[in-house]
Amino acid sequence: MEFVRYDINKYSPQQMVVLPLALLITAFAILGFTAVSTGTPLTMGIDFAGGTAVTVFTPDSREAIESHYSDYPLISVGEGISDGKYLQFGPMSDEQFREFSTLTQARYPDAKIDQIGETFGRTLQHQALLALLFSFLGMSIVVFIAFRTAVPSFAVVFAVFSNIVITAGIMQILGIPLSLGTTAALLMLIGYSVDSDILLTSRLLKRKGKLEEKLPGAFRTGLIMTTTTLAAIAALWVVSTVGQIQIIAEIASVLFIGLGVDLMNTWLFNAGILKWYIQRGGK
């Protein structure tokens, strides 16, 4: 694995932080444009926006289903095993929903219909936002207590924040909605991101030796840890995609993207800030 032995020392701190900052600014622009256009920085799934989910077992093709529901706000048609179909619809009025239910039961008597109201969806959205906020604040407090030094602590917290923002921007580009499942993936990403950043910071600040020796060692260890996790998540994504388990596939996609972003932010941005800090005489 030649990449594991890559010489990370040959780059200056300024060169190391340029790419992560550029991608962070780009992600902010994407999320800001989406917020101005739609009212939310990310496209919301039916968990948060409200809507109706229908689970049916039918040999009908995707085109036939789309034609059958042409008068209703059909968002997506997921296909599973044994002719299973998972249909997602946007919000409907009470009258339209009654007509929709009658139409669905007439064609698919065994269909399972689940409706999430817009008000309940907004409540879930608020709770998910609070969960992300409190997780991030809790992580930040633990980091500052652990290192008790402003610059290294700030580097860790900012790197984790950048991971979440850039991952969210990529989700928007790829059309992955924010749902309860992908919110859970973002929460897991906070935990994993801070783990890799603390590994780097502890190796550089708390171990004796020269910076030029400690940084490559930390890089090798961290890269092996992350690539192992990426391989496991890739396998999860393949299995869930083949089995048409949409929510698991979305969680795996967000984690895979987030860990890739974490590699960049940890070993470019965070490592660059720490390298600058130590070279300036930081202890």
Q: Which segments of 86-242 does DSSP mark as H helices, in order?
A: 94-107, 118-147, 150-174, 180-206, 211-242
What does the pLDDT look like over 35-91, one tens digit per residue?
998 888 888 888 787 788 888 888 888 888 888 888 888 888 877 667 778 888 888
* Local confidence band at 29 (pLDDT 50, 70, 90 cut-offs): very high
Q: Domain boundaries in the chain?
A: 2-45+119-279, 51-116
**Residue 101, exposed/middle/buried by CB under 10 A (0-12, 13-18, 19+)?**
middle
Cα separation, 200 vs 211, in Å, equals 12
**Residue 23, exposed/middle/buried by CB under 10 A (0-12, 13-18, 19+)?**
buried
Q: Which residues of 39-52 are buried (b: 16+ CB within 10 A; e: fewer)?
A: eebbbbbbbbbbbb
- Domain 2-45+119-279 CATH assignment equals 1.20.1640.10: yes
Residue 129 pLDDT exceeds 90 = no
* Local confidence band at 172 (pLDDT 50, 70, 90 cut-offs): very high
pLDDT at position 2 is: 47
Interval 106-127 mean pLDDT: 81
pLDDT at position 168 is: 94
Interval 181-196 mean pLDDT: 88
With contact defined as beta carbons under 8 Å apart, do 37 and 72 qualify? no
Phi, psi at residue 245, to the nearest 5°? Answer: -95, 90
pLDDT at position 3 is: 47
The better pLDDT of the pair 282, 275 is held by 275
Element spanning 53, H or E: strand 51-57
**Tokens in use for 131?**
């969960």
**Tokens in use for 100?**
């929709």
The better pLDDT of the pair 283, 32 is held by 32
pLDDT at position 1 is: 47
Give the position of tokens 């959205």: 125
* pLDDT above 90 coverage of the chain, percent: 22
What does the pLDDT look like over 257-270, one tens digit per residue?
999 999 999 988 98
* pLDDT above 70 coverage of the chain, percent: 95
Interval 277-282 mean pLDDT: 76
Residue 25 pLDDT exceeds 90 = yes
CATH for 51-116, options being 1.10.10.10, 3.40.50.620, 3.30.70.260, 3.90.280.10? 3.30.70.260
pTM: 0.84
Q: Which long-range contacts (CB under 8 A, 24 or more apart) does 15-22 make?
A: 15/272, 16/268, 16/269, 16/271, 16/272, 16/275, 17/268, 17/269, 17/272, 17/273, 19/264, 19/268, 20/159, 20/162, 20/264, 20/265, 20/268, 20/269, 21/269
Cα separation, 222 vs 226, in Å, equals 6
What's the mean pLDDT when you consider all of the chain? 85
Interval 205-223 mean pLDDT: 79
